[in-house]
Amino acid sequence: MLRFLYTVAMYLATPVIVWRLMARGFRYRGYFKRWRERFGRFPDPGLNGCIWVHAVSVGEVNAALPLITALRRRYAPLPMVVTTVTPTGSERVRKLFGDSVFHVYLPYDLPRAVARFLNRLRPVLAVVMETEIWPNLFHQCGQRGIPLAVVNARLSERSLRRYRPIRALVREALANVALVAAQSHADARRYRALGAEPSRVQVSGNLKYDIPLPKGARQRGAELRVQWGDTRPVWIAASTHEGEELAAFEAHLAVLARMPDALLLIAARHPERFRAVEHAAHNLGFAVATHGAGDVNPETQCLVIDGMGVMMRYFAACDLAFVAGSLVPIGGHNVLEPAALSKPVLVGPHTFNFEEITRSMIEAGGARRVASAQALGMAVQQLLRDPAELARMGAAAHAVCVRERGAVRRTMVLLGRVFARARYRAESGIVTAEAR
């Protein structure tokens, strides 16, 4: 009954969902493309058994990269399918894997759309990244005997509270999950509280620690510093949301008052906001360049990063990174990308999406928390004027990354039994009556 009511609500909400999809499409054309896939309609790829990994957007795709690589290496005969929800996630999959994996958008959680999706892919193993819980999708996986694992699983206290009104529905969905591989003991405890079978919940660590550095990122960063002037102070505001750009710009004005040659790199989280950030920088009187135009000169005060998949070279080129989504209650973004490049990190007060990682980084001395936009400006000024402290923090941040690696190996071990069953089904050609 709960799932029936949920399904009715999903059908009633579908016009609103489609309208939102269209509204986003006016700002980012990628949302208009391949819209039929959102309802499980796409050409049958002819897969008779595959490994399916779902990663909602860019961050989850990046986190899934080492695991997908490990799965493909160990089980090479099986085709790999990767689904996303966002066009930026889709672009990232294409850039990382090209045509070596089959990519399609995950359909909306409507029974017929999910059925079409599963009928075309015929997965023998489903691996869902982080916190994606879809009742109809999980139910159909269970009905069809498709082994389902939630890996790199995270669940904040805030999310746990939000799930409470529908906990019975979520518990029913989680009953179809063979494995929850949690990032931390706190995440594992919350999944058990949410209704996951305790014996199926294990701690594997965070896959983000195992993300490999893009080839040539450090070298490209060093080349950029030579172009800009390797003695000028450079800091980055990464993955900003509405309300955070102004804070970054105000902080940079304070920095310029003390260090006139300082350069701010700023990257909005969502591509549809690139132009708005550029216009705001111009309106505030900054000398502005963009990644797309590539016209940075000694007079440039602000570089707007208006491209996807280029952040690591800019992290490599900066002296200090402010990881946004944390001055506003978004929950923060991935602090490990700059940390892996030995860059000190600043975060705001809202980091519940990366609670354990951020805490570890702060306790180790590789990151600092700022309470407000004003405090951000003061912290940036202080650190950019103290090269010894920047070096110490950067080394501490990198040490945390090295210490915590190994989640891919642990996750693969935990997937062993589930994967063995999936391989058996694929090699034997076993398909349930419903899947046919």
Residue that has been written with the tokens 């912290």 in this structure: 379
Residue that has been written with the tokens 């949920």 in this structure: 6
Cα separation, 5 vs 1, in Å, equals 6
Catalytic residue, from 37, 60, 132, 337: name it. Answer: 60
Residues with Cβ within 8 Å of residue 308, at least 6 apart in sequence: 58, 88, 91, 92, 271
CA distances from residue 365 to 361, 369, 374, 398 in whole angstroms, order as listed? 6, 11, 21, 11
Q: Which helix (H) or strand (E) holds 71?
A: helix 58-74
Task: Confirm whether 60 is a catalytic residue.
Answer: yes
- DSSP conformation class of 434: T
Residues with Cβ within 8 Å of residue 294, at least 6 apart in sequence: none
Contact 180, 202 (CB under 8 A): yes
Cα separation, 137 vs 366, in Å, equals 40
DSSP letter string, 231-272: TS-EEEEEEE-TTTHHHHHHHHHHHHHH-TT-EEEEEESSGG
- Record the tokens describing residue 18, joined without a space: 């489609």
CA distances from residue 253 to 202, 229, 234, 257, 349 in whole angstroms, order as listed? 47, 20, 13, 6, 22
Contact 405, 212 (CB under 8 A): no
Cα separation, 434 vs 284, in Å, equals 60
Order of strands, edge to edge, in the sheet holding 345-347?
Answer: 288-290, 302-304, 263-268, 234-240, 320-323, 345-347, 367-369
Catalytic residues: 60
